[in-house]
Amino acid sequence: MAALKGNNCVILWVFGVSLCWSWTIVDGQIAYVVLEEASPGTEIGNLAKDLNLNVQDLGHRGFEIVPGPNKRYFGVNLKTGILHVKERIDREELCNRDAKCSLELEAIVNSPLNMYRFEVNVVDINDNTPTFPVSKTGLNISESAFPGERFLLPIASDADVGSHAVKSYKLSQNEHFSLDVQSNEEQSVSAELVLQKALDREKQPVIQLILTAVDGGKPPRSGTLQIIISVEDVNDNVPVFSKALYKARVTENSPRGTLVISVHATDIDEGKNGEIVYSFANQNDKHVQAFSIEPDTGLITVQGVVDFETKNAVEIRVQAKDKGDKPRSALCKVLVEIVDINDNVPEISVNSLVNMIKEDAPAGTMVGLITVKDSDAGKNGAVNLKIHNSVPFKIQHTYKNKYSIVVDGSLDRESVSQYNITLIATDEGTPPLSSTSVITVHISDVNDNAPRFQDTIINVHVKENSQVGAVIYTVSAFDPDVGDNARISYSLLESSKSIPLSSMININSDSGDIYSLQSFNYEEMKNISV
C-alpha cells in the first residue's frame, strides 16, 4: 500500500472526556478509533478517502468489508465512503480485559481485485462498577495477633480496563486496622488488611468494616464489601512461608500427577497449633483447578488439563493454616508458567477466490486470498505456506498470516482448462505439524486461435450442365477455442477474373455448403479458382 498522508480529527465529548478520533497508519495499514457503546450510525472515518478510492466507483466495483467476526459491527456508505458503527460494540464482550481492543478488518474491491486492511481500536468507557465476589466476608482474628499482621481481602473485579479499572481501595474509619493497597505488574490492584492496634476480645468481640473499591473513571464508580471480624483468643503465632513468591514451569498437556513445585511453611507453635495444612486460597479459579496440593506436604501437582493456548501462566495463592482450635493462616503466591508444545495443526482459510480467470491473465494477477492460523506460540506457531503441485501459480506473503495466490506463468485453456492447487501449511515445531487444502481455479477462454482448414488446397470436380443450386462441395474448418470464439462463419473471396464469382457460386456461411448459381459449360470455362 502506498504511504498515505493527512488526518481527520473530530473532538467527541463523552462522559466529560474529550477524545480525538482519527485514522493513522500502523504497520502499513489504517487504524481508526471509536468509543465502545457508540450508537449505530456513528461515523468513524472516511474509508474511501483514506484508501484513495473514488467514491463514485465504490458501487459498481463491489466495494465491501470481507466477511469475518468483526464485520457485523461496521458498515460502509457506498455513496459517501464513510465507515460507521452498524451494531453496538461491547468492548468487554469482545476483548475481555485486554489493554488494547483492536478489531482487524479487510475490504475488497473488484475490477481490478484488490484488498485493503484496516483496524478499529475500541476505546473503553467507564460503564462497569467494581464488584466483589461476595457482599459479606468474615475473618477470625486472635486477640493475641501482633500489630503489622496482614489479612488478605477479596479482590474486586471491574470489566473495564486501563484508567477505568479498579485503582484503589478505601477502608471505613476504625482504630484497629489500616489498608495496604498493592499493584502488580499486570496493573491488578489488591488490598490487605493490616492490624495496627492489638485487639481485645473482651472489649470488642466483633468489628465491622466496610471495604470500598474505587475505579479511575471520571466520575469514579465504586462497590463495597462488608467485613465482619470475629476476635478470638489463643494460638498467637502465624505460619511463615520460606518464600513470598514461588516460580515454577510445567509443560502443557502434562499427565495427571506431574510434580510442579513444593511449598513450605513453618509455625513455631507446638502441637496442633504448629501443624500446618496447605490449600489453595483461590481454588474457585478454573485455571487453578488444573492443579492440586497435598495438604500435609505442600506438593503441588497437575490434576487436570494444562493448556498453553487457554492460559500461559497461572497464579496460585497457597494458604498455610495451622491445626489449632483457632487456626491461623498465611499466604504465598505460586506463579506457574505453562510451556507450549506443538499440539495445534495450522488452519488454512480461503477468504476470497476468483474461481474463473482468463487464459491471457498476466503474471502477478491475484487469484485468491489465504489466511493461515496456528494457535501455538513461538516456532510452534510460525507457519510456512507453499503450493505442493507444479502449477503456474505462486504464493505471496502479504501481511502477518495473510497470503495471496497469483499467476506465475502462462495459461492456455486449450492445454489445461482447470487447476487443482494443493496448499500445504507447515509449522516450525518439533516435530512439525501440517495441513493441506485444495482450491480449484478454472481457466476461461479468450479468442487466441484462428480457424484452420484441414487442407489448404481442395480440388472439386463438377459436371457441366449440372443442376442450378446443387451443392458442389462442403468445406469444414476447426477452431480449438470454445463458445463464440469457436463459432465459424464461411465466405467466398472474389476472384480476379472479369466474371464475378458471386454470379457463379455461393456458400452457406453456417454450414460451409458451396452451391452453384448457374449451370456450367465446359467449353466456356474449365476451372474456377476460389
Q: pLDDT tens across 9-53, in order?
A: 333 333 333 333 444 544 457 999 999 889 999 999 999 999 999
How many Å apart are CA 527 and CA 196, to the nearest integer?
A: 130
* Distant-in-sequence, close-in-space partners of 336: CB < 8 Å, separation ≥ 6: 248, 249, 250, 260, 261, 291, 300, 313, 314, 315, 316
How many Å apart are CA 75 and CA 385, to the nearest integer?
A: 32
Instruction: Tell me: pLDDT of 105 over 90.
Output: yes
The pLDDT-based confidence of 290 (bands split at 50, 70, 90) is: very high
Q: Which domains does the chain have, with CATH numbers?
A: 10-123 (2.60.40.60), 136-232 (2.60.40.60), 240-339 (2.60.40.60), 347-444 (2.60.40.60), 450-530 (2.60.40.60)
How many Å apart are CA 414 and CA 346, to the nearest integer?
A: 36
Q: How far apart are the first and last CA of the chain?
A: 60
Q: Which of 429, 220, 458, 240 is nearest to 345 (CA)?
A: 429
Q: Which of 257, 164, 147, 275 is nearest to 213 (CA)?
A: 164
Report pLDDT for 369.
94
Instruction: Tell me: pLDDT of 474 over 70.
Output: yes
Whose cell is 483492536? That residue is 102
Three-class SS state of 172: coil
Tally of CB atoms within 10 A around 43: 15
Q: Report how far Cα 275 is from the mean position of its chain's Cα atoms.
A: 51
- The predicted model gives 289-310 an average pLDDT of 95
Percentage of the chain beyond pLDDT 70 is 93
How many Å apart are CA 346 and CA 381, to the nearest integer?
A: 8
Report pLDDT for 11.
33
How many Å apart are CA 421 and CA 440, to the nearest integer?
A: 6
Q: Report how far Cα 263 is from the mean position of its chain's Cα atoms.
A: 39
- Stronger pLDDT, 133 or 6, i.e. the higher one: 133
The answer to whether 311 and 348 are in contact (CB under 8 A) is no
Q: Which of 352, 275, 451 is nearest to 107 (CA)?
A: 352
Measuring CA to CA, how many Å separate 359 from each of 20, 76, 268, 479? 50, 34, 87, 16
User: What is the tens place of the pLDDT at every residue in 333-388?
Assistant: 999 999 999 999 999 999 888 889 999 999 999 999 999 999 889 899 999 999 99
The answer to whether 472 and 515 are in contact (CB under 8 A) is yes
Report pLDDT for 193.
95
* Distant-in-sequence, close-in-space partners of 268: CB < 8 Å, separation ≥ 6: 237, 274
CA dihedral (462, 465, 468, 473) in degrees, to 10, reads: 0
Sign of CA pseudo-dihedral 91, 92, 97, 98: negative
Report pLDDT for 4.
33
Q: Give the three cell numbers for residue 161.
A: 480496563
In what side-by-side order are the strands of the sheet with 43-46? 43-46, 82-85, 74-76
How many Å apart are CA 351 and CA 369, to the nearest integer?
A: 5
Instruction: Tell me: pLDDT of 6 over 60.
Output: no
How many Å apart are CA 166 and CA 150, to the nearest integer?
A: 21
State pTM to two decimals. Answer: 0.48
Sign of CA pseudo-dihedral 289, 294, 298, 303: negative
- The predicted model gives 2-6 an average pLDDT of 32
Half-sphere CA count of 281, side-chain side, radius 13 A: 18
Beta strands in 129-203 (DSSP E): 136-142, 150-152, 166-171, 177-183, 189-195
Q: Which of 488, 485, 484 is nearest to 476 (CA)?
A: 488
The answer to whether 215 and 301 are in contact (CB under 8 A) is no
Q: Which residues pair with 316 in a beta bridge?
A: 334
DSSP 135: S
Q: Give the three cell numbers for residue 130.
A: 467494581
Q: Give the three cell numbers for residue 502.
A: 458471386
Whose cell is 493513522? That residue is 24
How many Å apart are CA 387 and CA 370, to the nearest integer?
A: 12
Report pLDDT for 237.
84
- Per DSSP bridges, beta strands 136-142 and 177-183 are unpaired
User: What is the tens place of the pLDDT at every residue in 179-213?
Assistant: 999 887 666 788 999 999 999 878 898 999 999 99
Q: Which of 439, 352, 358 is nearest to 404 (CA)?
A: 352
The values of phi and psi at residue 224, to 5°, are: -125, 160
